[in-house]
Structure 1
Amino acid sequence: MDMAQRETWTSRVGFIFAAVGSAVGLGNIWSFPFQTASNGGAAFLVVYLLAVFLIGFPTMLIEFVIGRRSKQNAVSAFSELGYGNWTFAGVIGVFASFITLSFYSVVGGWVLNYIVGSVTGGYLGDASTFFGSVSSGTVAVAAHAVFMAITIAIVAGGVADGIERATKFMIPAILVLLAGLAVWGSTLSGASAGYAYYLSPDFGVIATNFTSIVPSAMGQAFFTLSLGFGVMVAYASYLGRDDSLPGDSAIIVVLNTIVALLAGFAVFPILAATDALTGSTGAGTAFVALAGAFGQLPAGRIIGFVFFVVLLFAALSSSISLLEAPASYVVDSYDTERWKVAVGVGVVAFLLGIVPAYGYVGLFNDFVFNILLPIAVLFIALFAGWIYGGEAVDELGRGTSLGRGAMTAWLWWVRVVVPIVVAYTLWLGVTNFYAGLVNGAYF
């Protein structure tokens, strides 16, 4: 595509909302509270926050540097920068994005069914039976198709008119509705027990469950920040040269973390009030536990409707970025009309998503969490730290008042600390995923 015709964000705020929208998704509201509940509560929260700020934030800067410097998608960026032999790193990210979109849309379809269930009261009688009826089979495939169609329509609208306009509406709505749910949750009997489990860490739990908590927390951090998908590379490629990458990254990371924490403040009082505070986590646990809780609470149907609308906005704000990553590669590389690309990629992702729609969401989710994302992050960290080096520092310095010393410290951090931590996380993730395959946990 002619660079002069390439789309851009209409404003810095538009970019931030889009990037926050990508980060704020089902991972924050669907996965985060239940990852926390099943991994020791506040113990998991501590490790997760460390992963976000010590590993996630520096990694986001890497993706922003690559994207803005190259003005290309995650695959083409490396060739544009003069390092075509590193293109595989971008391919891994876009592949992770595509795989995630395929099963993420299935979960988005569950959300649509639960919104309908809130209106009809369908899940209030027997939450487990309702989940079983909508989470697998033809009903799940049909809802998956509707959710994917909405995602395709937004991405087909373009960067400014589609993605930016949608996220400018959805992100404030998510914040307002989640804050309202958190305030309402504070009035429930037993809310204090939920807060205690959520906010009072038992560091002995971290020591005892270190090998399971670390990959879960790291995968959660990458997933909620949209790192390793090629998404942030694509989004940063539409930026102007004068934007502060550290400033924008800090805003995005903080807002994303606020949403995750708000989700916890909304969910844990509900779980505590209905004696469902702890338990095993799985792809459907959030839906079964919360739907069951809404059935026991005053005005549960109304609260459930609001919650699942929040979940829908969160799901869409991320699904459009997951589609944008592979779509931007095709648009940039083959000068094809955006709407045709969005439809084509979306349809293929839908077809792949039929597999998880028949009961394999957990398998797809753990494969991405434990393996694909750590691999993608590891390679881009090695590239930025040891190959691109000084040029990465130069790009990071554009539009910011940070001194050279701070930027050099960032470079050494991504050279040494990030690869070591991510490589260790990958090893644990592969070990845990293999154990799940051997034990039949996914089948």
Structure 2
Amino acid sequence: MNRTREHWTSRMGFILAAAGSAVGLGNVWRFPYVTGENGGGAFLLIYLGIVFSIGVSVLVAELIIGRSTQLDPAGAFRKLAGGAWPIVGYMSILTAFVILSFYCVIAGWTVAYMIKSITGSVLTANPEEIGGVFDAFITDPLEPVLYTALFIGLTVFVALGGVASGIERAARILMPALFFILLVLVARSVTLDGAVEGIAFFLEPDFSKVTWETLLAALGQAFFSLSLGMGAMITYGSYMQRHDDIAGSALAVTVLDALVAVLSGLVILPAVFAFGAAPTAGPGLTFITLPSIFAQMPFGFLFAALFFFLLAIAALTSAVALLEVVIAYFMDEGSANRKKVAVTAGIATFALAVPASLSLGVMSGFTIGGKVLFDALDYLTNNITLPLGGLLVALFLGWVLKHRGEEEFVDGSTLAPALVGAWRFIIRYVAPVAILLILINGLGFI
């Protein structure tokens, strides 16, 4: 086809959009409770070290694939190498679609809790009572499905505007809003009576708590928090201008992504300690523990609504990136226009999201490998296809496309020539081994 390729209008627009793709529920929801489960400050240091070495290196690799080809993931691998390599692209597109389907279910919960926080219906000082409210909500056959539909509609609406007028414009509004809300919530959390203990837990490393599981958790969190292995960064890289700076932009995206994770930790962990809750509460920390904490704060309903609005923004910017992976493929490979593809992809996402949501309630009797559909989709992507995709990207850039990859790395960048040696070593040796560990651990062999 002779379709004109869309591009970002500025480097800042790309950085904000790519950071929006990376910043998601993994940063604001998952990072604080994983940190709490793994000892606090020591985990934070290990996580940051991995993010700024392995994470940014794989991010650079994905951007190189996208920028050099100006194509979707499948088309990019076909153009660069052919053979069986396009399978990696197809896998990442399918992974993005599957993740989007159950991701929108969780994102719908954040929208619901934002509204319910204003009305006060999910705020009570009794965590057990809130746990019952949460269980009743997610197992309801209708309400969470309606919020999922609303969220998918918002995602499609942003994508309909295209790269510049849709994704980039939304990122320029949503990302500053996200940071503003984060700073407001940090200011409230760290000034609570008893918050000092939580701050110390989060920022003061205690390496006596570090175990092999801590390292694996940090590896997994660093990899997933940058939206790697799902085609999003390849797709966003394909919208870069031919000689845009990859190294500097990737570093800026990584800084923003890590900053959101750290600020989220400063929102949640000081508040948890201030009210005597357990930092090891796991996934329930967000929808069960935190509402009980907000209920005990002055103007708690307002801070709760702000927090869940923050979660919804983070989820939306990531969901748009996941949907764009699917849109880019069908626009590059076929003749359909953006509007038709975006709406069709949104409908298909909803079609898979509905049974994923219902599997937590009325369809819980239907299982795949002993897991309900929601958990099965999560396991398939997070434990298998995401790390496998990231591993193959690292091997591809490190060994198959090694010389051209290094040329693309330094093209358009004043920073990259000083870093190309380190990047070469990490992408060839360190990243494959680290991601292989994530994959093996996810499959339960460690």
1:373 paired residue among 383, 386, 406: 386
**1:170 Cα offset (Å):** 0.4
User: What is the CA-CA distance between 1:48 and the residue it aligns to?
Assistant: 1.7
Match of 1:181, SS state, is: helix
Q: What's 1:139 paired with?
A: 143
Is the Cα–Cα contact under 8 Å of residues 215 and 426 in structure 1 kept in the other structure?
no
In structure 2, distance between residues paired with 1:375 and 1:192: 41
Q: CA deviation at 1:213?
A: 2.9
Shift of the 2–10 alpha-carbon distance from structure 1 to 2, 3 Å rule, reads: same
| Deviation at residue 275 of structure 1 after TM alignment | 1.4
Q: What's the TM-score once normalised by structure 1's chain length?
A: 0.93
Residue 420 (str. 1) matches residue 418 (str. 2) = no
Structural mapping, 1:141-180, within 5 Å: 141-180=145-184
How far, CA to CA, are the matches of 1:314 and 1:44 in structure 2?
23
Q: What amino acid sits opposite 1:315 in the alignment?
A: A
Q: Which residue of 1 aligns with 2:82?
A: 83
Instruction: Check conservation: 2:391, 2:432, Cα contact below 8 A.
Output: yes
Paired residues in the alignment total 428
Question: Counterpart of 2:133?
Answer: 130
Q: What RMSD, in angstroms, separates the aligned Cα atoms of the two structures? A: 1.7
What's the offset of the Cα at 1:47? 2.6
Q: What letter corresponds to residue 273 of structure 1 in structure 2?
A: A
1:115 corresponding residue in structure 2: 114
1:134 Cα shift?
A: 2.2
Q: Relative to structure 1, is the Cα distance of residues 215 and 103 closer, same or farther in structure 2, using a 3 angstrom cutoff?
A: farther
**Aligned match of 1:187 in 184, 191, 194?**
191
- Give the letter aligned to residue 407 of structure 1: V
Q: Percent identity?
A: 38
Cα displacement (A) at 1:362: 4.5
TM-score, length of structure 2 as denominator length: 0.92
| Contact kept in structure 2, 1:133 and 1:139, CA below 8 Å | no
Using the alignment, how far apart are the partners of 1:285 and 1:347 within structure 2?
31
SS in 2 for 1:75: helix
| Equivalence for 2:363 | none
Q: Give the Cα–Cα distance (whole angstroms) in 1 for the partners of residues 313 and 281 of structure 2.
A: 26
The alpha carbon displacement at 1:379 in A equals 0.3
Distance in 2 of aligned mates of 1:363 and 1:63: 27
Give the conservation status (yes or no) of the 8 Å contact 2:248–2:415: no
Which residue pairs with 2:365 in the alignment? none
Q: Deviations over 1:188-222 (max 9, x none)?
A: 01101111211122222222xx1x33343222222
Q: Is 1:385 aligned to 2:385, yes or no?
A: no
Compared with structure 1, are the counterparts of its residues 84 and 160 closer, same or farther at alpha carbon in structure 2 (3 Å cutoff)? farther
Correspondence 1:28 to 2:27: yes
Cα drift, residue 342 of structure 1: 1.1
| Structure 2 residue matching 1:85: 3-state secondary structure | coil
Q: How far apart are the structure 2 equivalents of 1:116 and 1:403?
A: 46
**C-alpha distance 42-404 of structure 1, shift in aligned 2 (>3 A):** closer
Once structures 1 and 2 are overlaid, which stretch shifts more, 36-45 or 104-113? 36-45
Question: In the alignment, which residue of structure 1 is the partner of 2:351?
Answer: 351
- Runs of 4+ aligned structure 1 residues displaced above 6 Å come to none
Structure 1: gaps of 5 or more residues: 436-443
Q: Distance in 1 between matches of 2:425 and 2:44?
A: 27
1:303 maps to: 303
- Supply the distance in 2 between the matched residues of 1:219 and 1:340 (Cα, whole angstroms): 36
